């Protein structure tokens, strides 16, 4: 597995290049303001980007989607419940005082029952609403085997959780998503959040202050 993480101001949001080292097939996950760095990795590694996968539709996670699609031609995937947010990405940016290129139309909505193949890898889509209605996490590992890394979007952070004070956010729903969907995963599973450093499921189960009453 090739997994490269890049971030850039103003949001310092983590964007990902995920690829199979054997086949060189890959995906971009949440291309934002760091999209040029992600595309540089794609060129240097000579990757064939097959999809652009979005964990949710907040502006910091989609601001580079237009450039990513123009460069790769890859289809954009999103959970259907976040389509209204995605279609208002330009308005979201304006709230923060900057302009973005309008993102291209969504090409496909996630089918939660069907893993996404990335060469010899497989990404299972886990619906984890609460930060947004259509928030998802991507559980990635070798095809036919257990996942080894979780790309968690803004659902779970090292020592924190996604904010729920934005439109579509709901605190109780988010806590339920983490407890019922993520905390049933193995303790040693590596979690790569949408912002900040990586962590593990076990560490967050033990120490995350927002989830002390939600341990399983």
CATH of the domain at 38: 3.60.15.10
Spatial contact of 98 and 91, defined as CB atoms under 8 Å apart: no
Helix (H, G, I), strand (E, B) or coil at 36: helix
C-alpha 88/C-alpha 98 separation (Å) is 14
Domain count, the chain: 1
Assigned domain for 79 exists: yes
Spatial contact of 210 and 175, defined as CB atoms under 8 Å apart: yes
Which residues lie across from 140 on neighbouring strands?
A: 123, 149
Model pLDDT for residues 185-206, shown as the tens digit of each residue = 999 999 999 999 999 999 999 9
What's the whole-model pTM score?
0.96
Domain range for 165: 2-210
C-alpha 22/C-alpha 2 separation (Å) is 10
Assigned domain for 216 exists: no
Model pLDDT for residues 123-177, shown as the tens digit of each residue = 999 999 999 999 999 999 999 898 999 999 999 999 999 999 988 899 999 999 9
Q: Which tokens hold the place of 75?
A: 């289809």
Residue (of 186, 189, 192, 193) closest to 216 by Cα position: 186
Assigned domain for 215 exists: no
């Amino acid at each position: 597995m090739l997994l490269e993480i890049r971030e850039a101001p103003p949001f310092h949001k983590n964007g990902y290049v995920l690829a199979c080292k054997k086949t060189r097939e890959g995906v971009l996950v949440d291309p934002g303001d760091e999209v040029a760095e992600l595309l540089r990795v794609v060129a240097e590694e000579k990757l064939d980007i097959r999809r652009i996968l979005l964990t949710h539709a907040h502006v910091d996670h989609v601001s580079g989607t237009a450039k990513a699609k123009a460069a790769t031609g890859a289809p954009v995937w999103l959970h259907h419940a976040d389509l209204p947010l995605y279609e208002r990405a330009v308005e979201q940016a304006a709230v923060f005082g900057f302009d973005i290129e309008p993102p291209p139309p969504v090409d496909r909505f996630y089918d939660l029952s069907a893993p996404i193949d990335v060469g010899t890898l497989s990404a299972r889509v886990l619906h984890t609403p609460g930060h947004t209605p259509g928030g998802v996490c991507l559980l990635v590992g070798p095809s036919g085997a257990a996942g080894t890394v979780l790309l968690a979007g803004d659902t779970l952070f090292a020592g924190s959780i996604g904010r729920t004070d934005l439109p579509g956010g709901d605190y109780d729903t988010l806590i339920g998503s983490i407890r019922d969907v993520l905390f049933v995963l193995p303790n040693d599973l590596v979690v790569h959040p949408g912002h900040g450093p990586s962590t593990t499921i076990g560490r967050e189960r033990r120490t995350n202050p927002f989830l002390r009453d939600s341990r399983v």
